[in-house]
Amino acid sequence: MSLAAYLAYARGTPRAIIPPAAPRPAGELVWVHAVDASRADALLQLAERLAQQRPGVKILLTSPEGLQQDQQVCDAVIWQKIPEDSVAAAEAFMKHWSPDLCLWAGGNLLPALISAADTRDIPLYLIDADENLLIRPSWRWFPDLPKALYAQFSVIMARSASAARELRRIGTGDTEMTVTGPFLEGTVPLPYNQSDHDELSSLLRGRHVWLAAMAQPDELPAILEAHRAVSKLAHRALLVIVPDDVTQSPSFQTQLTTGGWRFAVWSNGDLPEEATQVLLADTTGELGLWYLLASVTFMGSSLFPGQTGRDPNEPAAHGSAILYGPNVSRYLAGYSRYAEAGAAYLIRDADTLATAVQRLIAPDASAVMAHAAWDVASQGAAVTDRILDLVQDTLDVLEAKS
């Protein structure tokens, strides 16, 4: 009765329905919903893996209004704002997208949408169920609503035992429920050229290498000032700089020339010589190589206001200790995870960057951080694999029925 009452209430005053910004693609479509940025990151990574394993599948990612969508996503992903929780909007959403299944991550359920999907017999899976997101304040007028909603999911994966206890208290009917641990974005090693790695490893043997990845031109003075301080303690240290935008390489080269640095430009085919202080790695698709060669990585695009940071999982996947600036709002949840585990350090300027690199450039110190980063990044791997298996099995069954 509470669900029916809520849906009657949700019909409310009719509002204009905003049409979707993209057409429904042909073929299999998996609908995934993220309640926050960290779950959106994890779902994007899951979507990329699913697209690799199942060519032709498309993923519709929905999220609340205001969630940043400025990062690059794979071609298989369509990212849309979740519609308002009204019956009319939910029915229009389902009619347009007609997804084959739904993965809802976290909680904060929208009853009209969940019920519209259930009415169409769309398999509903709640993953990463979080005890803090199971009951919405607006539901207090509909005491039996949570029980009716959670019973519509055929599978619930709880992120903790306490979340599972809360779900049992609410009541989930015949829903299959397991405690899986948190669903987190993990590490995905980047490709690299093995021959380049072997050649550079031989050339740089015995030298301390640190990396400034995804750097902005306005960050370069602080990075170079830090390298000058590092070089006083380790005079053979090599700084590798990867610009965030490789088309800005001329600006980087100008600053390096003006500063009197001895530098090599990777895009010109240059290799670092014994006297080379800086290697400007101004090509795309080779970050995996530089992460592997560097014991310490400063993740750029993070020092100054207006910047939002870059993905910390990348250096973690390649055994590089992580340094980052204060402006990482896009990846704040990820950096917080690594920092809490002692796997990443916050720096604020050239002085703190220099101090951190000087301390971590010793192999034993950076290895401790890199190991901690790998532990954090690996936590969600088993959960992601389990979810992928569930999705693949469901799509296989649906395909066999069609």
Q: Give tens-digit pLDDT for 301-337.
A: 999 999 999 989 899 888 899 999 999 988 888 899 8
Instruction: Say what the pLDDT of residue 141 is.
Output: 78
194-378 CATH: 3.40.50.2000
Q: Which residues contact 31 (CB under 8 A, 6 or more apart)?
A: 59, 60, 62, 97, 99, 101, 102, 103, 122
- Residue 356, CB-side half-sphere exposure with 13 Å CA sphere: 27
Domain span(s) for CATH 3.40.50.2000 in the chain:
194-378
Whether 13 shows a pLDDT value over 60: the answer reads no
Whether 340 shows a pLDDT value over 70: the answer reads yes
Q: Which fold has domain 2-186+380-401?
A: Rossmann fold (3.40.50)
The answer to whether 40 and 98 have CB atoms below 8 angstroms apart is no
Domain span(s) for CATH 3.40.50.11720 in the chain:
2-186+380-401
Whether 2 shows a pLDDT value over 90: the answer reads no
Rounded distance between C-alpha atoms, residue 310 and residue 214, angstroms? 7
- pLDDT: which is higher, 26 or 381: 26
Strand order in the sheet with 344-346: 263-265, 278-280, 238-243, 209-215, 296-299, 321-324, 344-346
Least confident piece of the model among 70-79, 173-182, 314-323: 70-79
Whether 395 shows a pLDDT value over 80: the answer reads yes
Least confident piece of the model among 33-37, 71-75, 235-239: 71-75
In the block, tokens 């973690």 appear at: 316
Q: What is the mean pLDDT of residues 349-376?
A: 90
Phi, psi (deg, nearest 5) at residue 15: -120, 155
Residue type, 287: L
